[in-house]
Amino acid sequence: MTTVVSAKIPDELRKKARMYHIKISRVVREALEDEVRKLEEKNLSQDLDKLGRILRKNVSSSEIVKAVRSSRDER
């Protein structure tokens, strides 16, 4: 399913885009996808930071090392 989105741009910009055969809908879609991806990555990074702070409070370094070694040995 898709949704139509409109944006106002200056006439001169539209003329230049046509002159260079730029597909405005593609550019807008890609820019929006990039922006959403950046924000999702930022939110994920913040969530991982929070999780890391929680884990550091509740899990000792030796337990983390033991878990990493165990994981490596399983390979």
Assigned domain for 40 exists: yes
pLDDT tens per residue, range 28-58: 999 999 999 999 999 999 999 999 888 888 8
Assigned domain for 67 exists: yes
Q: Could you give the number of structural domains in the chain? A: 1
Assigned domain for 37 exists: yes
In angstroms, rounded to a whole number, what is the distance separating the alpha carbons of residues 19 and 25? 15
* pTM of the shown model: 0.67
Find the domain containing 42 and state its range: 11-74
In angstroms, rounded to a whole number, what is the distance separating the alpha carbons of residues 17 and 31? 15
Token output for 6 = 């409109």
Which of the pair, 75 or 41, is modelled with greater confidence? 41
Assigned domain for 20 exists: yes
* Alpha-carbon distances, residue 9 vs 4, 12, 35, 57, 60 (angstroms): 16, 8, 19, 51, 56
For residue 12, pLDDT over 80 is answered with yes
Assigned domain for 6 exists: no
